[in-house]
Structure 1
Amino acid sequence: MLGAIETLILAFAIGLTGALAPGPTLVATINSSLQRGWTVGPKVATGHAIAEMGVFLMIALGVATVVEDHTATVAVVGGSALILFGLLTMKGSRTATMKISQGHAASNPYIAGALTSVSNPYFWIWWMSIGSALVLAELREGLLLAMIFMIGHWGADYGWYTFVSTSLHRGRTFLSEANYRRVLALCGAFLVLFGASYLFGAWSA
């Protein structure tokens, strides 16, 4: 099983693929950054992390006991989901954009981060497939590794949303649309490769 450092790096890389994907949480960050400054990014990420902590606790305290006898099935579902999300990410990268929305800035970025997360179907699909499989794999090695996984995952969220809010607050975009699409495509390819590796490990176990 992966050690603490490897788990942290892997969680950051996988978390980044989700954070980069266009969605309501990213829109909330973009809409508020010009008006409220660079601190919007970490505030939105905090709201997002609070929502994910609730999901993590459900997995750790409830789902884990239910699926303990079905770990191989969870691994197959998780690996397949990784490949599917990777392919969808690669496809979506062709038209992905970071253009500023015309919507209103959220009055409370913490609440915006939480609400845009739990109201997004992608959030639940990701956690009930990829996220739960990875968290359960770490939980089998101990609660500490599972928490390290979450720290790495949140590190990607905080890093990306802070990067976006700082960039827009300063009146420029450090990441061009073309490069954003390239990075997103690379993230999708990473998910596909990791998903294939995950499936191989489940079948050979």
Structure 2
Amino acid sequence: MLELVFIFTTALLIGFSGALMPGPLTAIMMEHALRRGYPAAPLITMGHGILEVAIIILLLVGLGDYLALPYVAGSIGLAGGLVLAWMGYGMISSAADAALLPDHSSGENRPAGSTFWSGMIATATNPYWFLWWATIGAGYVAHSRKYGLPGMLSFFGGHILADFLWLSVLALVVITGKRWLTDRIYCGIIFGLGIFLGLFSLYFFWSGVTIISGW
């Protein structure tokens, strides 16, 4: 029992170390929280979490070493850079027409599925997410599986809870700040987040090139 508590607690703390790092998921969370309100947090967590379940299964069947291969990680970086560039362009192009709704929490201006899929896409296009799971995550999976299903559930529960808590904090911060937002400021934030994703796309693309070339 104590070992399961240890697995859960350490997974939670290490999960925070990754969740708190700025990245595409942070930008997507802020953009969707502005549009949908707090429901964006659990929806994005669900999209993110489904991929985490999938990669844990892959690690359990021994594909961790494959994900860490330079050409695989590099290809993920190249593809991720292109997709993030597309997402950033979409945010930038929509910024001029963006407007705050009177009821920010209604979520009527964006389908729930869009938020869910955005969380999944932002996760899948991040090559460092794959590398984290192929290294740190793989080690945790190897340790947790010694305790069977309870061990794996303790690990995943702590890890995904860190993501959910941090995304919830971001959503609440954005929602609280909405009362001081004008449409002009709102458009500027959406535009800035689009630029942020665009810069990350260049970073991921360049990382993919360097990983493949071995620079």
TM-score of the two chains, using structure 1 as the length reference: 0.61
Identity rate of aligned residues, in percent? 28
Partner of 1:142: 148
Unaligned runs of 5+ in 2: 67-90, 99-109, 179-215
Question: What's the CA shift for 1:42?
Answer: 1.5
Q: Give deviations 1:6-28, integer Å, cap 9, x for gaps.
A: 11111000001111111111110
Task: Point out the more displaced range, 50-59 or 106-115.
Answer: 106-115
Question: What's the CA shift for 1:153?
Answer: 0.1
Question: What's the CA shift for 1:2?
Answer: 6.2
Partner of 1:51: 51
Question: What's the CA shift for 1:61?
Answer: 2.9
Question: What's the CA shift for 1:35?
Answer: 1.6
Q: Superposed, which structure 2 residues align to 1:92-171 within 5 Å?
A: 103=92, 108-171=114-177
Q: Give deviations 1:127-169, integer Å, cap 9, x for gaps.
A: 0111011111111232320221011000000000011011101
Inter-partner Cα distance in structure 2 for 1:63 and 1:116: 22
TM-score of the two chains, using structure 2 as the length reference: 0.58
Change (3 A) 1:144 1:53: same
Inter-partner Cα distance in structure 2 for 1:143 and 1:136: 12
How many residues of Structure 1 are paired with residues of Structure 2 in the alignment?
137
Q: Superposed, which structure 2 residues align to 1:35-74 within 5 Å?
A: 35-63=35-63
- Partner amino acid, structure 1, of 2:159: H
SS in 1 for 2:7: helix
SS in 1 for 2:177: coil
Inter-partner Cα distance in structure 1 for 2:37 and 2:63: 39
